[in-house]
Chain A
Amino acid sequence: MTTNQDVLIKVDGLRKDFGDLQVLKGIDAEIKKGDVMVVIGASGSGKSTFLRCLNLLEEPTGGTITFEGVDITDPSVNINKHRQKMGMVFQQFNLFPHKTVLKNMTLGPIKLLNMSKKEAEEKAMELLERVGLADKANAYPSQLSGGQKQRVAIVRALAMNPDVMLFDEPTSALDPEMVGEVLEVMKKLAKEGMTMVVVTHEMGFAREVGTEVVFVDEGVIVEQGPPKEFFENPKSPRLKDFLSKVL
C-alpha cells in the first residue's frame, strides 16, 4: 500500500445527476503520482463526465474529490487555483482561435502564474520544440491540422506546469492518420513521469502506456486493474462483452 502522500487525486462516492438522469452513481478512485489511469467504456457510460468532474468542469452532485490533500468540492475552495495544477485536453482541442499558437500558450502563464512575457515565451518555445511545432509558433489555430492543434492543446496545458493532465478523448476528433502523432506525444509525457488520466477508445494506448485501466459502465466502475490483467483476464461479463466489441 502506498502512503497518503503519494495519492494525488482521491475520489470518494462521486455522484453526478443531470436532472433526473443519474450519470455517475458513486465512483471511488485513487490516482497516485506518476500513474497513467486510462478510463474506457461505451459512450454514455459516464467516463467523460467522471473526468470533467475531476477539475469541476462538471459540478458533482455528491461525493468528494481530494486533490493534493484539499477537498476541491468544498464550495469555499478557490477552484481556479487548483485548476492551474490540472491540465486538461479536450476532444475538440478548444484552442483560442483569435490568438496565435504562442499566445495560446503564454496567456495562462503570464496572467495566472505572473511569469514575464519573455520567460513564458521561452518556455512555450521549448515545449513547442518538444512536440515538433516550433515553426508554428506564430500561426493561428485555423492554419493547423487536427493533429497539430491537439499537440498545441497539450503543450498549452503543460505550459502551466500542471501536476496532473486530464485527457478527454484526445484522439476521437482526429483523422486516423493523425492519431499516431498525438498518442506519441502522450506516450512521451507518460514516460517522463507525468500523472495522467486519459479517457480514450485507443485500447492499444491503454495496454501499452496505462498503469491502471478502469472500465466504467452505467455510472460505476465495473472493473479495474493493471492493463495486462485487465485485457487478458477480464472478470465481469460486461467488460468481456465490451472488449469483444472493441478489440
Chain B
Amino acid sequence: MHFINQIAMSAALKADASQGGFAAFWEDVCRRFESTFITEDRWKMFLDGLLKTVQITLFAAVLGLALGFLVAMVRSTHDLTIQGKKSSKFGDYVLKFFNFICNIYITVIRGTPVVIQLLIMYNIIFASSRNAVLIAILSFGINSGAYVAEIVRSGIMSIDKGQFEASRSLGFDYKNTMVHIIMPQALKNILPALGNEFIVLVKETSVAGYVAIMDLTKVGNTIISRTYDAFFPLISVAVFYLIVVLILSFFLKKLERRLRNSDH
C-alpha cells in the first residue's frame, strides 16, 4: 500500500507545480481511497466482511439444498403416489401429514420477507443465543430451502410420466425409480434455476447486518459512517458481490456443460 502514498504525494507535488485541476482531483481520489482502505487497515474489514458473506452463503446454500430436496421429495411423492386417491394405509396418513407441514413451511417462508425471518430468529426464537452468524445461516438456509423445494419439485414434475412407467414396468420401486431415472434428469433440467437461487442467496445475505453481523454490506456502511464518504465503500462492496457472483456463475456454467455433455 506504500506506493499509493507515493503516487498521492507525487500527484500533490505536480498539483503544486502546475496548479492544474486534474492533479487536485487525483489527490482527492487518492486521499479518499486511503481513508477507505488503508487507514486503520480497513481493507482487513472488507476482507473479513467478504469472508463472512461467503461463509454464510455457503452454509446456507448447503442447508437450503438439503431442506429443499427433502421437502420436494415429500411433496412430489405425495402428489405422485396418493394425491386424489382414497387410501386407508397408515403410511399414507403420515405422508399426508408431512405434506401438510411442508406446504405450511413453503407458504410462510415465501410469504414473508427474509429480513423479518432473520429478525424473528435472532430476537425471538434464539433470543438467548448471540451466535449471530449461526442464526443467519439457519435463517437464510431455511429461507432458501423453500425456494429450492419448489424448484426441485417442478423439475421432478417436468419429467415425462412415461419415464416413471417404464421404470416401474421393469420392476423398480418408487425409490429406485427416483434415484436412477427421475432425479438425474430432473437435476439437469433445474440446474439453471438452482444456480439462480444461489446467486439470489449471495445477495440476500446483505441484510445480515440487521443482526449485528459484519458482513460485506455492513462493513461498507460502517466505513462510510467513519469517513463520511460513500463513494469508495459502496462501489467496492458492489464490486466484491459482483466478483463472488461471477465466480459462482463460472462454476455453475461448467457444471451445466458437463451435465449436458453426458447426453445429447
Contacts and interface: CB of A to CB of B under 8 A. Distances in A.
A112 B185 contact: no
Contacts of A112: 170-172
A94 interface: yes
B165 interface: yes
Contacts of A92: 160, 162
B165 A83 contact: no
Helix, strand, loop or mixed for chain B's interface? helix
B184 interface: yes
A57 B165 contact: yes
B52 interface: no
A98 B261 CA distance: 10
B28 interface: no
A16 to B, nearest CB: 14
Interface string B161-186: 01101111111110010001100110
* Size bin of chain A's contact surface: 20 to 34
B166 A90 contact: yes
Contact of A142 (B165, B181, B263): B263
* Size bin of chain B's contact surface: 20 to 34
Interface string A96-116: 111100000001100110000
A87 to B, nearest CB: 8
Nearest to B174: A80
A143 B163 CA distance: 18
A237 to B, nearest CB: 35
Given A96-B181, A98-B184, A107-B180, A84 B171 contact: yes
Contacts of B165: 57, 88, 90, 94
Given A57-B165, A111-B176, A160 B263 contact: no
B262 interface: yes
A109 B127 CA distance: 56
Contact of A83 (B160, B168, B181, B264): B168
A92 B264 CA distance: 18
Contacts of B31: none
Q: Could you say which of B166, B167, B171, B176 has the most chain A C-beta atoms within 10 Å of its C-beta?
A: B171
Interface of B: 160, 162-163, 165-173, 176, 180-181, 184-185, 188, 262-264
7 contacts: A84-B170, A90-B162, A97-B185, A98-B185, A98-B262, A108-B172, A112-B170
